[in-house]
Amino acid sequence: MIRKALTIAGSDSGGGAGIEADLKTFSAFGVHGLVAITSVTAQNTQEVRAIYDISPEVVVKQIEAVVEDIGVDAAKTGMLSNSEIIKAVAKTVKKYNFPLVVDPVMIAKSGAPLLREDAMETLITEIIPHATLVTPNRPEAEKLSGFQIKNVDDAKRAAKTIVEELGARAAIVKGGHLGLSEAVDILYVNGEFREYRAPFVEGCTHGTGCSFSAAITANLAKGKSLEEAVETAKKFITMGIYYGARIGHGHCPVNQNAWIEIPAEKWRVYDTLNRALKELVSIEDLHKYVPEVGMNFVYALPKLYARGREDVAGVKGRIVKFGNTIKPVGWIEFGASDHLARAILTFMEVFPEVRSVLNIKYNEELISKAQKLGFKVSLYNRTEEPEEIKAKEGGTIPWGVRTAIERLRDKPDLIYHLGDWGKEAMILIFGETPKAVIEKLNKLLE
């Protein structure tokens, strides 16, 4: 059975916040999204250019239409814009008994007011008392509680005030604006406080409030407890900020897709590399090209998600010579490669579409054959490596790959080096996919 979540909120034409963020979040959790649009904003990552409020009657009709036919497992409010809309929404949601998450949207990240000044009191008296949970950030919590929040104790006092004085069932005061090294959110529910902590990550923050409250709503719709819903939403939003969508010229938006795209891409990368590895193992005479240090074959997540070694899949323990064949020592795992992971991540800085690489033993004939075949071949000379890079652990390969790309002024298919004292000469074969790498290898060995 698919669960249904309703968002009663404004539209952001930039797709970063508002109902657009809510719907993407609902989808990320596999929940069917329903909408009651309160206001249409002409907005981008830099500014809000216009606001057009929908009539309260039409807002109510949207809510009733979906509740009466489809049903709502949980709902949230976002931008409610004016007193008339707030009163109409409050009167309508009162008729139903779904959990209601209230994101008390007041000001957009760009600084534009999204709630009329004279509507604040109506929000406090009409909507907050119906809330299962209120999700203010620091400035919003200050407006609701009436005092300044400078630290975690103030945040606790504000959450308690919103529950005990304004009548919400629970409140979570978000710590993203508290200026701490960690983002600490304070939940007050059933007379108790709970803290939710996450590292304060750099990234994209437009739409964080909307996406966080939508994630809680989606999880409530799925029948999770409030505490579980908040815990999941915290992980979701941290990931969405970190892997933010770098678009526009202002505050870039949260990437709600990261939540499902990363696990999906991890599976694709694993499966694709696994199939290619089986093909690699069956290549005749390849054992002759296995270096002394072993061979590895890696495939990275798409550029947006490939931040470090853990985002590159490779063969644990490498691939070794085994009689007249080759043999993977272990399974394919993310984080299994060190050298090739650094090589591919560096290559992707310049050519993000090239995500796979394999290393084989250096062979002069193979290099001339590659050149005859029209492959783009480049090299780096380990003896030319600057001392300061040599001194840095793990610096050689990134320097070498950058040097080889700069030398060729083009996208290499192969990069080789002739080794150094104690370092084996090596050829790296690059490709967009593991299959592309194998095709190049097969041509070389034909």
Ligand X SMILES: Cc1ncc(COP(=O)(O)OP(=O)(O)O)c(N)n1
For 188-249, the DSSP string reads: EETTEEEEEEEE---S--BTHHHHHHHHHHHHHHTT--HHHHHHHHHHHHHHHHHT----SS
**Contacting residue, 5, 8, 17, 54, with ligand X by CB under 6 A:** 17
> What does the alpha-carbon distance between residue 432 and residue 46 come to, in Å, rounded to a whole number?
35
Question: According to the binding rule CB under 6 A, does residue 293 interact with ligand 3NM?
Answer: yes
**Contacting residue, 176, 207, 244, 314, with ligand X by CB under 6 A:** 207
128: phi then psi, degrees, rounded to nearest 5: -55, -40
DSSP structural state of residue 80: -
Q: Which does 234 bind (CB under 5 to 8 A by kind): ligand X, ligand 3NM, none?
A: none
**Contacting residue, 276, 426, 438, 444, with ligand 3NM by CB under 6 A:** 426
Reference 347, options 408, 424, 389; nearest CA is: 408
Q: Is-contact 120 158, C-beta < 8 A? A: no
Q: Which does 206 bind (CB under 5 to 8 A by kind): ligand 3NM, ligand X, none?
A: ligand X
Q: Which of 210, 224, 232, 314 is catalytic?
A: 210
330 is catalytic: no
> What does the alpha-carbon distance between residue 61 and residue 59 come to, in Å, rounded to a whole number?
5
Q: Is-contact 234 185, C-beta < 8 A? A: yes
According to CB under 6 A, which residues from 273 to 292 bind ligand 3NM? none
Handedness of CA 253, 258, 261, 266 (dihedral sign): positive
**Contacting residue, 318, 321, 355, 440, with ligand 3NM by CB under 6 A:** 318
Q: Which does 293 bind (CB under 5 to 8 A by kind): ligand X, ligand 3NM, none?
A: ligand 3NM
204 is catalytic: no
Reference 377, options 387, 389, 367; nearest CA is: 367
Determine the residue type at 176.
Answer: G
205 is catalytic: yes
Judged by beta carbon, residue 194 or residue 407, the one nearer ligand 3NM is 407
> What does the alpha-carbon distance between residue 174 and residue 114 come to, in Å, rounded to a whole number?
19
- Letters for 93-132 (x = contact with ligand X by CB under 6 A, - = none) are ------------x--xx----x------------------
> What does the alpha-carbon distance between residue 161 and residue 138 come to, in Å, rounded to a whole number?
14
* Other beta carbons within 10 Å of 281: 15
174 is catalytic: yes
217 is catalytic: no
CB of 17 to ligand X, least distance (A): 3
232 is catalytic: no
Question: According to the binding rule CB under 6 A, does residue 41 interact with ligand X?
Answer: yes
Q: Which stretch binds ligand 3NM (CB under 6 A): 83-91, 196-204, 208-216, 331-339?
A: 331-339
Q: Which does 340 bind (CB under 5 to 8 A by kind): ligand X, ligand 3NM, none?
A: ligand 3NM
Judged by beta carbon, residue 253 or residue 431, the one nearer ligand X is 253
Question: According to the binding rule CB under 6 A, does residue 234 interact with ligand X?
Answer: no
Q: Is-contact 105 134, C-beta < 8 A? A: no
> What does the alpha-carbon distance between residue 159 and residue 172 come to, in Å, rounded to a whole number?
6
Q: Which does 175 bind (CB under 5 to 8 A by kind): ligand 3NM, ligand X, none?
A: none
List contacts with ligand X (CB under 6 A). 9-12, 17-18, 41, 43, 78-79, 105, 108-109, 114, 206-210, 251
Active site residues: 174, 205, 207-210
List contacts with ligand 3NM (CB under 6 A). 293-294, 296, 314, 318, 337-340, 359, 426, 428
